Chain A
Amino acid sequence: MNALAVLGDEALHLTPSLWAVVWLIVWGPLLLGLVALYFPPHRMLTAAAAYLPVMAATGWLVATIAVSGPRHASLSLGELTLTWYLDGLAILLLLLTQTVLMASAVFAVGYCRTAELPSRPAAWLWPLLGGLSSGLTLIWIAADLLSLYVGLELMGLCAVALMLLPGEAEALAAGMRYLLYALVGSLAWLLGVSLLLGAWGRLDLAGLAAVAEPGAVTTLAVALLSAGLLLKASIFPLHAWLAPVHGAAWIPVSAVHAALVIKASFVILLKLWLLLAPGQMAAAWLLGGLGSLAVLWGGILAWRAQGLKELVAFSTVGQLGYLMLAFPLLIGTSEAVAALAWRGTWLHLAGHALAKAAMFMAVGSLVLSTGRSKLVELAGTSRRLPLPLLVFGLAAVTLMGLPPSAGFTAKWLLLQAAIRGEQWLWIGVLVLGTMLTAAYLFRMFRHSFDEQAPHLTYRRLPLGMDMMALLLALAALALGLVADWPLELLWPWGGRT
């Protein structure tokens, strides 16, 4: 397979300069965060400027890899060897991560200032975000289970710690629930990994793919791994911890969390399944079925939700369901179908990440500015807060999968895959999901366009906050039109021979 070939090729090792860049991307945010712990940024421009080197490094890395093809690296710690692998998928996820993180960080500066957050916890936001970034980066580039584990845990713990910051009982309870389930999920994952290690004696993905044979142990290991990851990725029916977390966390945290953190578990899950269970069609259909249920469940609950953040959180549950359709469409299908589904899945992931982050930010602006958090109470906001609403609308376009947006192009590809693969069920899911999404998202507009509502008092917010959100939302839209370039980078893909 493709990844193996690269790993065996000495010539495709990372060059020293690239190494430096990778290190910068992995640890740079964490370092910046630690600096910010003591010197918290007060202006959004400062934060953006400080983050610029990381962004530049990411850009350069993306450009280099896109031109020269996949690279790999190995890191020896004594006898232990960690392998990292930078292919098109990894660098695109990196780019996505850094974009969302930067936007969220910049947004967070304004948020901390405007929301008048207590300074101590607010300062802790930065290192934790940095840790989150490092964990995510590690996950994207990891090519062995140990690195993945480290990345997953780093990310997970930082994410839980971020929940501590608001200090309100609701947030703490949500954080506690999150912590417990994240830890138990990790243990399930660890159990699965240990079984794999025991059975095949190695942890690097390429090696595992080469030596692992489908058998009872592999199967059990995959089942355990999957259960843990499903819990962490908050896939229906294991999603119940998500909505309280999103509802209680600070807005930039929710944005990053919904956009990236839960996606990480999904990415790992998908990678492992393609490696270890390439023929498990029935189980893949089960996952697809769970995804479908997630689409419906999340959609309906979002439709019934009273609070704005709750709505967005349930929307995340529903949207993740679409991603799960990747399993039945990728596993055991023809090359053409899989190619379409592969592209569609990643495009949807990216589109959703950008749009959901933007939507959270818009929601944050709305809530912060009005001091209200219920949909009904936000009636009549469109006159005074056009920009957040515009952002919300643009993000909604992506989430609904209406053109022109990444969501639309992704849906197009997934539909095409489903039709070509003659998996009619998923077509119904996609259609129904779109309708549900439209139903719950337009509730927001229905209330905000109400001109007969009593007038609220509004607080002025820095423009930069909304601009960040707008940037992300526009990126999600633009991605739908220029999807060809990133999607071509994803190909050939690491799933099969």
Chain B
Amino acid sequence: MAILPEALAAALEVMLALLLLLMALACLVDRYLRRACRSFVCFAVLMALTWWQLRAPWLAAVEAVLGALLTGFSLFFALGFGAHHRLPRRDTLPGASPSGVRSWLLPLTWWFMAAAASLLLVDDVGTRLSEALAVLGPLALVGLAIIGLGLWGFVRHRHLLRRLLAFNVLGSGIFLVLAEVAGPRIEAQALILTGLIVALFGSLLGASLIRRLFILDGRLALGSGTGGKE
């Protein structure tokens, strides 16, 4: 790491952040499920890189194994990759109400809360916003953005797999913010590690649930009827 010049490191960081945001977006808005899952695997790999970048090699390794490999595997398992019953390739369910701008309202306010809190953390004495943003760093900002996206996705989507994806993205966003605001503390890493494990198990559980629900009565969303008609 040390061999890289500082500017390059900063540029790398920004690029990583932008890529993360892009992948998260791709993963969340894509209605083609397999593509979305692939985007998520990419997102997870990028997360691993980010941990490396943040000087947390252990986390990077764990993220690569748990986040990219195992979670990706579980997602594809849920899709029915290579099995007899496959999920439909495209999510055709309408979004949950409220739709449009209003569907953004709550995630935005929530995001605002998180952002405000993060800013407040570094902004004790009332420095200007731009300085605070600078202090917070691009990864934290992207983390916040990802939180917002993830929340939106979680609230808006009804397809279970997409909600699972949204949860994973949301979790990653929170890890990013956590890493940024708490710094390289061992506690933060422990929390993230736990969170990763939880996310993996959650994904595994979720994937198997989705799979079996689909096999049992073709259900793709929560609610009483098949096909998620609520």
Contact = CB atoms under 8 A, between A and B. Distances in A.
A–B contact with Cβ pairs below 8 Å: the answer is yes
Interface of A: 77-80, 146, 149-150, 153, 157, 160-161, 164, 167-169, 172-173, 175-177, 179-180, 183-184, 186-187, 190-191, 193-195, 197-199, 201-203, 216-217, 220-221, 223-224
B174 A173 contact: no
A157 B205 CA distance: 8
B206 A176 contact: yes
B154 A172 contact: no
The 10 closest A-B pairs by CB, nearest first: A198-B181, A194-B178, A220-B117, A153-B198, A169-B216, A79-B186, A197-B182, A176-B209, A183-B202, A198-B182
A157 B216 contact: no
B229 to A, nearest CB: 13
Given A146-B190, A186-B198, A187-B171, A197 B185 contact: yes
Contacts of A191: 114, 147, 174, 177-178
B133 to A, nearest CB: 16
Contact of B205 (A146, A164, A173, A224): A164
A157 B199 CA distance: 10
Given A164-B208, A175-B209, A194-B174, 18 more contacts: A77-B190, A146-B191, A149-B194, A153-B198, A160-B205, A161-B205, A172-B209, A172-B216, A173-B219, A179-B202, A180-B206, A184-B154, A190-B191, A194-B177, A194-B181, A197-B187, A201-B185, A220-B117
Contact of B212 (A153, A172, A180, A199): A172
Interface string B188-216: 10110011011101100110111011001
B40 interface: no
16 contacts: A153-B194, A157-B201, A160-B205, A161-B205, A164-B209, A169-B216, A169-B217, A169-B219, A173-B222, A183-B206, A195-B121, A198-B183, A199-B121, A203-B191, A217-B117, A221-B117
A157 B186 contact: no
B149 interface: no
B227 to A, nearest CB: 13
A217 B121 contact: yes
B120 interface: yes
Mostly helix, strand, loop or mixed at chain B's interface? helix
A183 to B, nearest CB: 5
Contacts of B49: none
A186 B223 CA distance: 23
Contacts of A164: 205, 208-209, 212
Contacts of A149: 191, 194
A191 B195 CA distance: 11
B167 interface: yes
B198 A183 contact: yes
B3 to A, nearest CB: 27
B116 interface: yes
A168 B209 CA distance: 11
A356 B179 CA distance: 41
Nearest to A163: B209
Nearest to B177: A194
B194 A179 contact: no
Contacts of A187: 167, 170-171, 174
A160 B208 CA distance: 12
Nearest to B179: A194
B178 A190 contact: yes
A194 B182 contact: yes
Nearest to B122: A198
Contacts of B197: 153
Given A169-B213, A173-B222, A202 B167 contact: no
A158 to B, nearest CB: 10
Contacts of B114: 191, 224
B123 to A, nearest CB: 10
A172 B218 CA distance: 12
A220 B113 contact: yes
A391 to B, nearest CB: 32
